[in-house]
Structure 1
């Protein structure tokens, strides 16, 4: 197949690599413009751009696909099919109509559950037992198109957004190669009764509210790892909590019940949370034993309760 690929982060790069390895021709790759990153805030190419350049594809980085010049560049590629994965730009109907076999999207959820920007994080946060990948025929609506191929994946009890992302990236790469090799595939219309939306993560969601259950807070810590990380305040110091486990325990929410090399145990609305990896502002992520070696935490101390939303 002659494929135009559109994607930006590592999730998309995995799929692009699989399409190259399957022997498809990819004359044009679309990706987001280079962004400032790192401490020096130097412009950094996306993982997709880096891979595309290494494999000899032309790279196009428009700020929009709504203007005629950008659309003409895509049209000239003469794609049989366009593959889209975590691209970050809206594709106008005129672009969706260009490829002979349309545009296929790799979406990291079992549609219609978790349409939108952050399906991996929202699945963990909600306590879902399963997620997966759908290969969807794209329409103008947000993840509304019919599903051509799907496969479920169990969510492990200790999965973070990072670990689940990596599993789904591998799954998505395999499924898109399979789907393209079997086109045309029957299209299954999504059941609108099961629609949920995976809103983009907001840093305002990061604070841990100790009045909630330990199980909910455990899911929050895992869903927000690596971005944006969950936050808490103890003795005036802002902390990020990177790893925690629900345990038995009772007390006033936010109260430290124990603090040793096994963890800092904090009372929750029900149960308790054992914090095992923490980070002070400006510091490094540390296992709890190292954290406590440089930061005393007294039993009976209280984490700040955020304002109730």
Structure 2
């Protein structure tokens, strides 16, 4: 049985907020929160605090924002806290072994996949894009490799046929909070957490999303493009060129195409959507956005056009 734990939390984006909320509501002492330095954001490029920083400040917890941990003085500041555990959730910095060795119980990481599948930066989106039907949360004991540490706890989450990157993100963030609290409760009560080394088979990497990937390539199968549209919502949002106009594609579905149609050609444009021929089948655009405009149904977009898409 262990008394209240001395915790340090490291995270940056919205995904890391629900697990942080769980820690804040628990019995343990949260000594400090580490997060990425403020970054320019929005049209005015004003410096903006991360979601984790905003939540920590609202809870009156000390926030620290080092550029990295190469400076021995920064590592010494962390060591002065005498943490039992450092919890890392989408922090965005690689932690050297000298940092991993500081807490009494080492460092835990919450990762949004069933490891070793989808190690890396964008596991949620890559799982949808690949057509996976299940993903999940792993609570991992951190080591120097990228998401290679042994798994302490895991929980599966089904990927629904209509899931977007945003909807799956939110469910996984809530699941992550539950898994983390289970781990903390077990650590505090003395219930041993057995670490399971990751298998060497089935390793895949979820490479960081790139804005350049957003352009839809209609030579690909429609089913693949439909998954990409869902995966890239709410960022970076897929886009295409249609009748000389760039459109962002917020929602689409695979449809039956016309045999022999040239990929990228418009097959239909009506209240149901805009059908674009693909390498296999057709992609029906159902929600789009013009440059400088707002997202709208394909029907509303067609009604607002000055000229019809089809003669």
> TM-score higher than 0.5 here?
yes
CA distance in 1, matches of 2:264, 2:32: 53
CA distance in 2, matches of 1:180, 1:266: 51
CA distance in 2, matches of 1:180, 1:137: 13
1:80 aligns with 2:84: yes
CA distance in 1, matches of 2:80, 2:62: 12
Shift of 1:249: 2.1
1:283 aligns with 2:287: no
Contact 2:264 2:276 in 1 (8 A): yes
Worse-matched range after superposition: 157-166 or 291-300? 291-300
SS in 2 for 1:140: coil
Superposition pairs of residues 47-86 of structure 1, within 5 angstroms = 47-86=51-90
Question: Which of 92, 95, 101 in structure 1 is aligned with 2:96?
Answer: 92
Unpaired runs of 5+ residues, structure 1, are 301-309
Question: Which of 236, 245, 248 in structure 2 is aligned with 1:228?
Answer: 236
Contact 2:243 2:309 in 1 (8 A): no
CA distance in 2, matches of 1:88, 1:209: 30
Question: Which of 289, 299, 302 in structure 2 is aligned with 1:292?
Answer: 302
TM-score (norm 1): 0.95
What's 2:105 paired with? Answer: 101
CA distance in 1, matches of 2:27, 2:53: 19
What's 2:214 paired with? Answer: 206
1:139 aligns with 2:149: no
Shift of 1:137: 0.2
| CA 194–74 in structure 1, closer or farther in 2 if over 3 Å, else same | same
What's 1:303 paired with? Answer: none
Question: Which of 261, 267, 275 in structure 2 is aligned with 1:265?
Answer: 275
SS in 2 for 1:163: helix
CA distance in 1, matches of 2:80, 2:309: 66
What's 2:174 paired with? Answer: 170
Question: Which of 39, 44, 47 in structure 2 is aligned with 1:43?
Answer: 47
SS in 1 for 2:310: coil
Shift of 1:124: 0.6
